Homo-oligomer: A and B are copies of this chain.
Amino acid sequence: MAETSNATAPTQFIVTKLEKYAYRRFGTGSGLLCLQHFTGTLDNWDPAVTDPLASGREVILFESAGLGRSTGEVPTSIPGMAAHALAFVDALGLTQVDILGFSLGGMVAQQIALERPSLARKMLLIATAPEGGEDIMHMEKPELKKITDDPNLPGLQRLVKLFFAPSATSQAAGQAFIARLAQRKQDREPLSGPNVAKAQIAAFRAWEAFTGERFAKLRKISQPCLVVNGVFDNMIPVRNSYMLSEHLPNAMLITYPDAGHGSLFQFHESFVRQASLFLGSEDLWPS
């Protein structure tokens, strides 16, 4: 029987026209391509989200260039990252997938939808921002810098502080989240170094800038989209999700209370239910 958990699914590799990428795929059915957040590797996908989503579809976790055991350099732009994702799906022979883009991954998803509309059937855009968004991953902000600079916080505890709201309930959900990430014992990816962060931050800065009419590109993304965020996201504030849902022609927005950047992990039961409903229903928007 095939593995259907990100705690145990083997890491695979594929050589493409651009780079050799690490990836994992599990579940059967139509594909859900998952694009990861700032500095995250394959090991940062929460089994509480990926595993139930793999019931009825195939979850495909992609490691972009320069992350984990994927070769190459981390691009300094979102289009550069989209090129790697497209090289990956082409090498797998996939012609249509749903896309779950979390944070940085949600920007790559939008770029893919613009460059190759036929590839993306529906998109989940989680804790992300449009081109021309605001306050995107300014890690130099005092409230973020005090977390990343804290010498007493081990890496995963930093993630809890960064991805979850300050409340006791949200922090407890964060501890449960990192315990789930630790379920994978073998065949793990190397952690990202500072060069990864530096290149990805450059891509965020380029994405904040825009030329021409703001948000005009969003009108060209006609795919059904489910936009999701926590109302207390400090890394990519929720108003960026409002911009997406107000300007994408076919987007439903869901926000969660008492939650930050990692709302999908905190409210994983609700998120999986909503994502499954969205991906499964052909007629969410009868109009």
- Which residues of A pack against B, CB within 8 Å? 169-170, 172-173, 231, 238-239, 242, 245-246, 248-258, 266-267, 269-270, 273, 277, 283-287
Q: Given A169-B287, A170-B287, A267-B285, A250–B257 Cβ distance below 8 Å?
A: yes
- What are 20 A-B pairs with beta-carbon distances under 8 A? A169-B287, A173-B286, A231-B246, A238-B246, A239-B242, A242-B242, A245-B255, A249-B257, A249-B258, A250-B257, A252-B254, A252-B256, A252-B257, A252-B270, A253-B255, A257-B285, A267-B284, A267-B285, A269-B283, A270-B284
Task: For A172, give the chain B residue with the smallest CB separation.
Answer: B287
Q: Max chain B CB contacts within 10 Å: which of A239, A242, A249, A277?
A: A242
| Stoichiometry, copies per complex | 2
Is there contact, CB below 8 Å, between B252 and A248? no
Is there contact, CB below 8 Å, between A251 and B245? no
Residues of B within 8 A of A254 (CB): 252-254
Is there contact, CB below 8 Å, between B266 and A257? no
Q: Max chain B CB contacts within 10 Å: which of A267, A283, A286, A287?
A: A287
